[in-house]
Amino acid sequence: MDVQTIRKRAFATPLLSPAYPIGPYRFLQREYFVISYRTDPEVLRAVVPEPLETTDPVVHYEFIRMPDSTGFGDYTESGQVIPVTYRGRPGNYTHAMFLDDHPPLAGGRELWGFPKKLASPHLSVETDTLLGTLDYGPVRVATGTMGYKHQTIDKAEVQAALANTPNYLLKILPHVDGTARVCELVCFFLKDVDVKGAWTGPAALSLFPHALAPVASLPVLEVIGAKHYVADLTLALGEVVYDYLQA
């Protein structure tokens, strides 16, 4: 295989059988269950990388079902997102993500820098309750519950937040000697968002300590609200907004 062919085909590893296809990546009927809670402000500031800045000591804990996603298949995800500002503009920083499918795990880390690890998240309706769980191996790490569709909320407001909010990631790729070859703050947006429905209800969240899935290190001090919504959307590719190796 000549050099030009390698360059043309080299968008993912392994070269001859990539773990995921070239995008764009479209998601249909993507279902979100997001519980917002207050946490310790000092602990929160310690995990958010500069030049991002924290605002209120709030964390969004997410359970997401993705039954139909281009190239990635059918999978579920769970993790923590932190509201931040960058140069004064509000956005979200993805702090932790856990999922049960290899292609989006590999693609998410390689392309954007999503902090993804393999685990077993689950989102379902149990009688009158929306239930989200995260297990790391046989150990329960998170449990979230909400009264199922107790109250409708404004779809347009949810759609505007999804479409207009910048999302930030810390992308790290090592050199062969183990040092950082890529260390960047990446920004991406969600495109072509179409919210099908949005609801809220009484909610609760429990996080449990685990050495390798430390979601409980951002402790739940007070649950302040929850949202459940379904949307079609496209996950756009990102751009580098800050290069830590050049700073």
Q: What CATH superfamily is the domain 20-243?
A: Acetoacetate decarboxylase-like (2.40.400.10)
Residue 203 one-letter amino acid: A
Q: Is residue 205 within 8 Å of residue 223, measured between CB atoms?
A: yes
Active site residues: 116
Q: Is residue 149 within 8 Å of residue 199, measured between CB atoms?
A: yes
Within 10 angstroms of residue 204's Cβ, the number of other Cβ atoms is 15
Which token pair is 192? 């072509």
Domain ranges of the chain: 20-243
Query: pLDDT of the chain along its 247 residues, tens only?
Result: 999 999 989 999 999 999 999 999 999 999 999 999 999 999 999 999 999 999 899 999 999 999 999 999 999 999 999 999 999 999 999 999 999 999 999 999 999 999 999 999 999 999 999 999 999 999 999 999 999 999 999 999 999 999 999 999 999 999 999 999 999 999 999 999 999 999 999 999 999 999 999 999 999 999 999 999 999 999 999 999 999 999 8
Q: How far is CA 155 from the centre of its chain?
A: 21
